[in-house]
Amino acid sequence: MLIKRKLKKLARNIKSQPDFAFIDQLVKKYSEAEVHLVGGLVRDYIIGRQEMVDYDFVIRNISAQKLREFLEPLGWVDLVGRDFGVYKFVPRDSQLTEAIDIALPRTDFATGGGGYHDFAIQTDPKLPLADDLSRRDFTINAMAVNMRDGRLVDPYGGLADIKRGLIRTVGEPKDRFREDYSRILRGIRFAAQLGLKIESGTWQSICRLAKYVTATKLTSAGKVLIVPKETLAEEFIKSLSADPLVTFDLYDASSIMHYVFPEIEDMKGVEQPLEFHAEGDVFFHTRLCLQLTPTDVSTELRLALLLHDIGKPSTQKTPERDRVDRIRFDEHPEEGAKLAHQICRRLRLANKLTERVVWLVRNHMMFVMGQVEDMRTTTIKKYFIDDVKLGDDLLELYRIDTEASDSSQQRKFLARQREVVEHIARMREAFAEAEVKTFRHIITGQDIMQEFNLEPGPGVGKYLMRVDDFIFKYVVKNKKEPSRDEVIKFLKNK
């Protein structure tokens, strides 16, 4: 009863908005017309997610021509593909951020390719709504709300599955996935986003068909991927953003990890030195990192946490095999950066995202290997002031990496992380307060040439860079500027 009242309220609230005035106008003009809200919005509203962005409607008992003629005077209308029977509609003076999708009832006929576009579409204004809903992937997405009275249309038990916390395909799982193998990835994404479990029969088919997410098919243009790389990447990042641990575990348990990220699979069984990583092998440590990931971090940080130790399997050295003092992973950040770049390119991620992920992987040991206090001011400025978000991501990567390490020195490393954060905060504050990035009022290039008997040239510029570095660090530490004599003394000692 509560759901019925909620859905009636939903229908009323939508129709009361100016952007959706067309619904009552349409039914008034064509009394036989049936307008149904479908798709993720219905699912999310029932679950309690309030992100109402995408509005999808199916309209029965009215021809495509009549529908278009009705909508055109009310705003912008565009037919999405002649064969799809979907109109994009933006009402005049709309406040919506996305176009409204309006479709005629449709049936899909899989053409056997297993890809998202491998369907023949047939529209029929008189088609029963249940037949249209039967083409959906999962029962939770195969529900509709009649906009006339708010009645739920649920022929495949989506509401019952939500109440049981399940993701289940509409119809036979293997048939539904073979129609479009990207649905395998969507199923995992919904599990991560909605906190639902995948029903056992659906899960078994996902495991059996996992290899097809990276399989190819033969076309007139040659071999092509059944699931485009862009689709795979989009689904994975959406899953990772929703719940990195659930995504990691489901990709692993289903064997999708083996096909999509074999480099991550290679981390299994790669032992680490107990004094630094008593928690387990590299794979388990990576899982712990994802488990500790806060909900509000960037996509690049999530990917960097997944990939930060990906260079360890190929760089591992052991006392037994390599006659070293303990298990070591020399230069694993550099090797990891190379592999991270290959993976990002393989997924066709955006250049900027790729660059930032690779940088984070390459530098994730920066605070372990060196003292940030000894870094040149130009280095601090480049990495932590000019790009504050990227610098903060590196600091957070260091913190999570340390917390996921069961080490006798963990307390020391975490204290070190806090010191680094405080030091960089002081540097940022000093930069913000001193807008001037050079200190020529203390010492000039002419002063340096006279003091050290130098001729004009690049050498003077190098001295000035050292001067700026020294003065800035002096200001951060002492809250005042050094004297000219102190600067000269520093240069002479150098």
> What distance in Å separates the CA atoms of residue 254 and residue 266, rounded to the nearest whole number?
16
Domain 2-164 homologous superfamily, CATH: Beta Polymerase, domain 2 (3.30.460.10)
Question: Which one has a higher pLDDT value, 145 or 437?
Answer: 145
- What confidence category does residue 436 fall into, taking pLDDT thresholds of 50, 70 and 90? very low
**What is the average pLDDT across 295-309?**
97
Which of 130-139, 184-193, 364-373 shows the lowest mean pLDDT across its residues? Answer: 364-373
Q: Check whether 339 has a pLDDT greater than 60.
A: yes
φ and ψ at residue 60, rounded to 5 degrees: -100, 160
What is the percent of the chain with per-residue pLDDT over 90, rounded to a whole number?
A: 62
Angle between the N-to-C axes of helices 229-242 and 244-253, in degrees from 0 to 180, rounded to the nearest 10: 130
- What confidence category does residue 393 fall into, taking pLDDT thresholds of 50, 70 and 90? very high
**pLDDT for residue 229:** 96
> What distance in Å separates the CA atoms of residue 126 and residue 106, rounded to the nearest whole number?
10
Domain coordinates in residue numbering, the chain: 2-164, 168-239, 261-433, 445-493
Average pLDDT, the chain: 88
**What is the average pLDDT across 387-404?**
92
State which CATH number among 1.10.3210, 1.20.272, 2.20.25, 1.10.238 fits the domain covering 261-433: 1.10.3210
**What is the average pLDDT across 233-250?**
98
Q: Check whether 263 has a pLDDT greater than 70.
A: yes
User: Which residue is associated with the tokens 């990002």?
Assistant: 344
**pLDDT for residue 117:** 55
**pLDDT for residue 439:** 62
- What confidence category does residue 483 fall into, taking pLDDT thresholds of 50, 70 and 90? confident
**What is the average pLDDT across 79-96?**
82
Question: Cβ–Cβ contacts within 10 Å for residue 263, how many?
Answer: 19
**pLDDT for residue 103:** 94
Q: Around 462, how many Cα atoms within 13 Å sit in the side-chain half-sphere?
A: 7
Write out the two tokens for 271.
């032992």
CA 304 to chain centre: 11
**What is the average pLDDT across 399-416?**
82
**pLDDT for residue 433:** 61
**pLDDT for residue 257:** 98
- pTM here? 0.85
* DSSP 8-state symbol, 382: I
- What confidence category does residue 169 fall into, taking pLDDT thresholds of 50, 70 and 90? very high
Q: Around 372, how many Cα atoms within 13 Å sit in the side-chain half-sphere?
A: 27
What is the percent of the chain with per-residue pLDDT over 70, rounded to a whole number?
A: 91
